[in-house]
Chain A
């Protein structure tokens, strides 16, 4: 079990995270927050790149800084922007990282062959990385994170650069891997975690706001999400009155998905089940980095 106990992180006078207490067991955890909310800081502490200013991070009861390489030996990490050497082939690159992970040469070779097949790069093992597309590079990143068969797999924005097909494939892969390990998936893309995460962690104002299942989190907005059609001419005033979380234009009408806590509702409104994305947009409605979405 991985535990963050009263963990805070400061950079000078700036507080990036405050009193974070979390427990992770085997399963997939979606770390959901807009950019700049502190996801990467939290992840960097979990992977020992940053040291907590206060509090402790324990793995099976021992501080991860004390465990040192023993902890990193069970860790797989895909950073948001991971580095690679453009003149290396994926095979050479993975062999290098396998050496850093303390893997035997023959074991590494065998594992690399398996992983390249798993991420669909078995036909380009000898092609230089500089010739790879963004999606292919990301797949190499995923492969490297799984090289040492980690007990803790931490992925920071893993699907960036992947096309929809690759995203689906990735989600399937994570489901298989999640059986006997902790997977922490940091993202600001709700759909990445919606269908696969056992639990969602939401960070706001440098603190953990929620750590719960998707169903429980969605209950926050139960009975508050509606959809309705509005004349285009009235769209502006509707927007001003209600918190719109999705809009779609159909002929001369606009279909709005919106949140309201009003008791007296219009009979034309249709109550709909809240999704994780609705909760995300509702919670971070004051965050300037959030873009609008469509229904």
Chain B
């Protein structure tokens, strides 16, 4: 254990820590802060967010047909309130518009004055009822047309699966698609940040010994060539530490997005335009993403450890890490974290890629360990 702690200690110096801080700051400013500061993004997204939370409080994570009838009644009550408001507006009354329906549909080009007044009510005065009604209408539209959207989904060509999907109780799940999109964007960028940080820190694990000419001394101690395995453990512990710290900070920040009400809602939600393969809850999706990030972190640590042992200079190390980092970033943004289990790609591709990456990481290390035992240290 002492050796592992020493090896971990060697990986962190003030330059490396400074670089991690700089990278994290840039990532936060460029890719993350927007998704914290502007979530939900404007109106009626904010109203939609509030209403879906109210729905969960009232109906639970799913809204069955009976509950949907209740939702429609609430909508009608809200429309009545809007009707009263419209009727109370003299300009609209004079033009014969006394209902919310009339307010929504009047011929705007022929009534520029009324159009301006409508814009003032909605955008300047920001009368909540009109935004909330838009949000409610969008929820109702999605709830009522979920089947059609599923049946016409271009990614699904298995009719039996479509039926199974439509018959699932989870399709009544209340989970706005922007909640998933927001989390998915954030966790994938955090995943990329973690992969890059692991590369920066762990890649030095063997090369510092070359640079300091320490291998001859290390390999003639009792620990000897087994140090390769200890360094591997140190690399994995370091990757775990980096991942845990980043995820810890990320979830602290993510808590401000206040999405916990949706944790029990399924990804089969009627709210989605896109579809997911697995009937799992939002919370399970978060856990799956976290597991994915840890796996990617371990794969990155494994490959970095291997490269650090086989290259001789920092320049060649950087050169060999760039294509690996690019491939991992593309995979993360495509389907390993972003759109994880999304129907754009076969579900086995996601799982297969993770298994493949783990096998590659394991294989290169196993190959190197076999060589390490017999290689001449010249």
A interface residues, Cβ below 8 angstroms from B: 11, 44, 47-51, 68-69, 72-73, 75, 77, 79, 81-87, 96-97, 99-102, 105, 144, 148
Contact = CB atoms under 8 A, between A and B. Distances in A.
Given A50-B378, A96-B6, A100-B3, A87 B221 contact: no
Nearest to B215: A83
Nearest to B230: A100
B377 A83 contact: no
A83 B6 CA distance: 16
Given A49-B377, A72-B222, A83-B213, 9 more contacts: A11-B376, A44-B216, A75-B220, A82-B213, A82-B214, A96-B6, A99-B223, A100-B222, A102-B221
Contact of A51 (B13, B213, B223, B376): B376
A75 B378 CA distance: 19
B58 interface: no
Given A44-B377, A84-B212, A85-B10, A97 B221 contact: yes
B232 to A, nearest CB: 16
Contacts of B222: 69, 72-73, 100-102, 148
B13 A87 contact: yes
B218 interface: yes
B2 A99 contact: yes
A69 B6 contact: no
Contacts of B6: 96, 99
Nearest to B218: A100
A100 B231 CA distance: 12
A84 to B, nearest CB: 6
B217 A48 contact: no
Nearest to A69: B222
Nearest to A9: B376
6 contacts: A69-B226, A72-B224, A82-B213, A85-B10, A99-B3, A100-B3
A44 B378 CA distance: 8
A77 B221 CA distance: 8
B377 A50 contact: yes
Contact of B219 (A48, A73, A148): A48
A141 to B, nearest CB: 8
Contacts of B213: 81-83
Contacts, number: 80
Interface string B347-378: 00000000000000000000000000010111
B78 interface: no
Contact of B214 (A51, A72, A85): A85
Interface string B212-246: 11111111111110110000000000000000000
Contact of B220 (A47, A84, A102): A47
Nearest to A53: B376
B334 interface: no
Contacts of A11: 376, 378
Nearest to A141: B217
Interface residues of B, number: 26
B227 to A, nearest CB: 7
Contacts of B214: 82-85
A69 B223 contact: yes
A83 B220 contact: no
Contacts of B221: 72, 97, 100-102
A97 B224 contact: no
B2, B216, B220, B226 interface centre (most CB from chain A within 10 Å): B220
Pairs of residues from A and B, 8 with the lowest C-beta to C-beta distance, nearest first: A83-B214, A83-B213, A100-B221, A49-B377, A83-B212, A102-B222, A99-B2, A100-B223
A97 B224 CA distance: 11
A98 B202 CA distance: 24
A101 B217 CA distance: 10
B71 to A, nearest CB: 65
Contacts of A148: 222
Contacts of B216: 44, 47, 49, 77, 79, 82-83
A144 B224 contact: no
A79 B221 CA distance: 12
B279 interface: no
B169 interface: no
A81 B213 CA distance: 7
Interface in B222-275: 222-224, 226-227
A96 B214 CA distance: 12
Contacts of B2: 99, 105
B242 to A, nearest CB: 21
B115 interface: no
Nearest to B208: A85
A71 to B, nearest CB: 9
B378 to A, nearest CB: 7
Interface in B185-229: 208-209, 212-224, 226-227
